[in-house]
Chains A and B, each alone.
Chain A
Amino acid sequence: MKLVEHFESGLDAPICLTWELTYACNLACVHCLSSSGRRDPRELSTAECKAVIDELERMQVFYVNIGGGEPTVRKDFWELVEYATAHHVGVKFSTNGHRIDAERAAWLRGNDYVDVQISLDGATAAVNDRVRGAGSYNTAVAALQHLAGTGCKLSVVVTRENVGQLDDFKAIADTYGAQLRLTRLRPSGRGADVWDTLHPTQAQQRIVYDWLLRHGESVLTGDSFFHLAAYGSALPGLNLCGAGRVVCLIDPVGDVYACPFAIHETFLAGNIRTAGFAPVWRESDLFRELREPQTGGACASCGMYDACRGGCMAAKFFTGLPLDGPDPECVMGHGEPALATAIPRKSSVDHSIRRRAMVPVTIVQRPCNESPV
Chain B
Amino acid sequence: MAFDLERGWALSPQVALRPEPFGALAYHFGTRRLSFLKSRTLLAVVESLAEQPSARAACEAAGVTSDQLPQYEKALSTLADTGMIE
A contact face: mostly helix, strand, loop, or mixed: loop
- Number of contact residues on A: which range applies? 10 to 19
> Chain B nearest CB: distance from A311 CB in Å?
23
> Chain B nearest CB: distance from A223 CB in Å?
11
CB nearest to B30 among chain A residues = A112
> Chain B nearest CB: distance from A85 CB in Å?
9
When the two chains form the complex, which single residue of B18, B29, B32, B34 contacts A13, counting CB atoms closer than 8 Å?
A: B18
> Chain A nearest CB: distance from B31 CB in Å?
11
When the two chains form the complex, which single residue of B16, B21, B36 contacts A88, counting CB atoms closer than 8 Å?
A: B16
Chain A positions within 8 Å of B74 at CB level: none
When the two chains form the complex, which single residue of B20, B29, B30, B32 contacts A12, counting CB atoms closer than 8 Å?
A: B20
A112 touches B29 (CB 8 A): yes
Give A345 to B20 CA distance when docked, in angstroms: 37
Give A115 to B30 CA distance when docked, in angstroms: 11
Q: For the complex, count residues of B whose C-beta is within 8 A of A.
A: 13
A1 touches B16 (CB 8 A): no
Q: Binary interface profile of A, 1-20, with partner B (CB < 8 Å = 1, else 0)?
A: 10100100001110100000
Confirm or deny: A60 has a beta carbon within 8 angstroms of a beta carbon on chain B: yes
When the two chains form the complex, which single residue of B29, B30, B34, B38 contacts A3, counting CB atoms closer than 8 Å?
A: B38
Give A11 to B38 CA distance when docked, in angstroms: 14
Chain B residues within CB distance 8 Å of chain A: 16, 18, 20-22, 25, 27, 29-30, 32, 34, 36, 38
Chain A residues within CB distance 8 Å of chain B: 1, 3, 6, 11-13, 15, 60, 62-63, 88, 90, 112-113, 115
